[in-house]
Chains A and B, each alone.
Chain A
Amino acid sequence: MQNRNSFKPVATNLPVLLPIAETAKRNALLERHEGTFRLNLTRSHLIGLIGIFLVLGGTAEAATPAGMIGPFEAIFKWMGFLLWGPEGTLKGFSLNLIISFFSMLVGTVAGVTLGLMQVSLLAPVRSGSWFVTQFFRNSPWLVLLFTIMFLFPYEIDLGFVVIPVPDWIKAVIGFSLPVMANISEVVRGAVRSLPSGQWESAESLAFNRRQTMWMIILPQCVKRMIPPWINWYCILAMATPLCSIMGVEEAVSFTTQALNAEGDRPELIPVFYSFLMIIFFVYTYPIARWSIRLEKKFAVKT
């Protein structure tokens, strides 16, 4: 593990990558330090997305047969349905958000526990938690999602009461697994990144390991963990449409339904999906920027 962490990426010698070599190297170092890759959203992405949306929309407008509603009008008509579901059922895009909140909650609690196990003094605990972390960190999210969807019953019969397990709850469980593994790495990285002098001075003041961890090490780690934690939330929020494949009634499923209702007109398809991309971007972008700002603020202080 030590070797893996001490490996330093070098600037590329591929000619095609040379213009971004320095930036790429800096980002790679930062990502390795945090144990996570980062989302670099900029305003130009939004301008690009709106540009694509307008160009596609304009083309579709021109291709609209006489007597049919145009793409912008169609989106306006379906907007409420896509964002909140029919009559405030909290489906569509709001279900994406609900799934992301709960997955993050479960994933964080489990991930912090797993991460602390990764810095345990007991070798079996350490290697066991390392294996679990690596397993879920390196599994494709979609595969995990399918596995949970098919492994979990649609209801749990406790004998006296039957608890239904709706699809979106299964999706929450499926998403929280990779989140757990990545948060575990974030915790391990933060604990490892503290200078060893902090441990030594705590030891020489006769703090036991537990006190050292909870009073001295972890309070300093929280600051370091918040930016990558927010970053992982953004990645998760953008991954939630994956569960549309399992029939969860979130934004992408509803977009497909709306397009069906409009008679599957081919010119509408790209317009609707690019509109969805803008919604996701508008939600994620401020959060991603916030994490970068926090990071700069913390970097100055310590």
Chain B
Amino acid sequence: MNNVATDTNWTPDQPMVSIREVHKSFGDLEVLKGVSMDIMKGECICIIGPSGSGKSTLIRCVNALNDIQSGSILVEGQEVNDPELDKLELRKKVGMVFQQYNLFPHKSALENIMMAPVNVLKQDEKEVEERARMLIKKVRLEGKENSYPGELSGGQQQRVAIARSLAMTPDVMLFDEVTAALDPETVKEVLVTIQDLAEEGMTCILVTHEMGFAREVANHIYFTDRGVIVEDGSPANFFDDAKDPRTKEFLSQIL
């Protein structure tokens, strides 16, 4: 652990998320065996790899949905692997979007977006509503403000979920296989939304199987297999000049 940044002296030139030697087990099964990576402010990184390689677990550790056994995760200098950690404070800074959307089915799209800022951040309801309407526009869902999740397609629900996370004005966004449950024709509308975000400078960590997206949008790509990072690099290096045989085999199956 050579990173000594703490809450008080973190500056934007240091990694926004710094993951060091993270180990995580579920019972006897070790799913992360010493993973390290740094994500700078404004970067968009993609984590790819076969199923069960621990990539979803890794990003769930970043906002403390899963705890880790050893190692260190710093978010803006704040240690996540700390029993004293105020998880709720951390999660105000780290937004997350899930594979299964997980919208609240008893609330309309607009209410889904407004709920957390109003009740968690205690912001003024009028201002939040204004911002929520702008977010709906941003994810190209004008006219769906009052629709309930059950009335929306998968792609539309996922975009509401993205807007819902953005309403908390997070510094980092985590995307956990957000297109995996979607029909092929709606995958694109969600990816375009994420691409917009990345281009606006949002720090994004994606777990994804969308190679085209990774190649086009990511600043850096990590390939994980069986709990370790096998290879990482810029998209061009990674896709055209992979070194490790495991990476080559995976890419040959996917591309």
**Hey, which bits of chain A sit against chain B, CB under 8 A?**
195, 197-198, 200-208, 211, 215-216, 219-220, 301-302
State how many angstroms separate the Cβ of B29 from the closest Cβ of chain A: 19
**Across the interface, which residues of A come within 8 angstroms of B63, CB to CB?**
204
Q: Give complex CA distance A302, B106 in Å.
A: 9
Contacts A197-B100, A215-B119; is A203 near B105 (CB within 8 Å)?
no
Contact A206 B168 (CB under 8 A): yes
Which single member of B87, B106, B161, B168 contacts A219 (CB below 8 Å)? B106
Contacts A204-B65, A204-B95; is A302 near B165 (CB within 8 Å)?
no
State how many angstroms separate the Cβ of B179 from the closest Cβ of chain A: 16
Which single member of A205, A301, A302 contacts B91 (CB below 8 Å)? A205
Smallest CB-CB separation from A209: which chain B residue?
B88
Instruction: Kindly state whether residue B123 has any CB partner on chain A within 8 Å.
Output: no
State how many angstroms separate the Cβ of B59 from the closest Cβ of chain A: 11
Which single member of A197, A198, A205, A302 contacts B116 (CB below 8 Å)? A205
**Across the interface, which residues of B come within 8 angstroms of A195, CB to CB?**
100, 102
Question: What's the tally of chain B residues with a CB closer than 8 Å to chain A?
Answer: 26
Contacts A200-B65, A301-B150; is A206 near B116 (CB within 8 Å)?
yes
Which single member of B98, B119, B120 contacts A201 (CB below 8 Å)? B98
**Chain A-chain B contacts (Cβ-Cβ < 8 Å), number:** 58
A-B contact pairs, 28 of them (CB 8 A): A195-B100, A195-B102, A197-B100, A198-B104, A200-B98, A200-B102, A201-B98, A201-B104, A203-B91, A204-B65, A204-B91, A204-B94, A204-B95, A205-B91, A205-B120, A205-B165, A205-B168, A206-B89, A206-B91, A206-B92, A206-B116, A206-B168, A207-B119, A208-B88, A211-B119, A215-B119, A216-B104, A219-B106
**Across the interface, which residues of B come within 8 angstroms of A301, CB to CB?**
150
**Hey, which bits of chain B sit against chain A, CB under 8 A?**
63, 65, 87-89, 91-92, 94-96, 98, 100, 102-106, 115-116, 119-120, 150, 161, 164-165, 168
Smallest CB-CB separation from A205: which chain B residue?
B116
**Across the interface, which residues of B come within 8 angstroms of A220, CB to CB?**
104-106
Smallest CB-CB separation from A300: which chain B residue?
B150
State how many angstroms separate the Cβ of B123 from the closest Cβ of chain A: 13
**Across the interface, which residues of B come within 8 angstroms of A205, CB to CB?**
91, 115-116, 120, 164-165, 168
Other than the given A203-B91, A205-B91, A211-B119, 4 more pairs (CB < 8 A) read A197-B102, A198-B104, A206-B116, A211-B120
The residue among B95, B105, B168 with the most chain A CB atoms within 10 A of its own CB is: B105
Q: Give complex CA distance A220, B104 in Å.
A: 9
State how many angstroms separate the Cβ of B204 from the closest Cβ of chain A: 15
State how many angstroms separate the Cβ of A213 from the closest Cβ of chain B: 13
Contact A207 B120 (CB under 8 A): yes
Q: Give complex CA distance A205, B121 in Å.
A: 10
Which single member of A197, A207, A215, A302 contacts B98 (CB below 8 Å)? A197
Contact A302 B150 (CB under 8 A): yes
**Across the interface, which residues of B come within 8 angstroms of A203, CB to CB?**
65, 87, 91
Q: Give complex CA distance A211, B115 in Å.
A: 11
Q: Give complex CA distance A258, B104 in Å.
A: 58
Q: Give complex CA distance A220, B150 in Å.
A: 13
Smallest CB-CB separation from B94: which chain A residue?
A204
Q: Give complex CA distance A200, B56 in Å.
A: 14
Q: Give complex CA distance A207, B117 in Å.
A: 10
**Across the interface, which residues of B come within 8 angstroms of A211, CB to CB?**
119-120
Smallest CB-CB separation from B93: which chain A residue?
A206
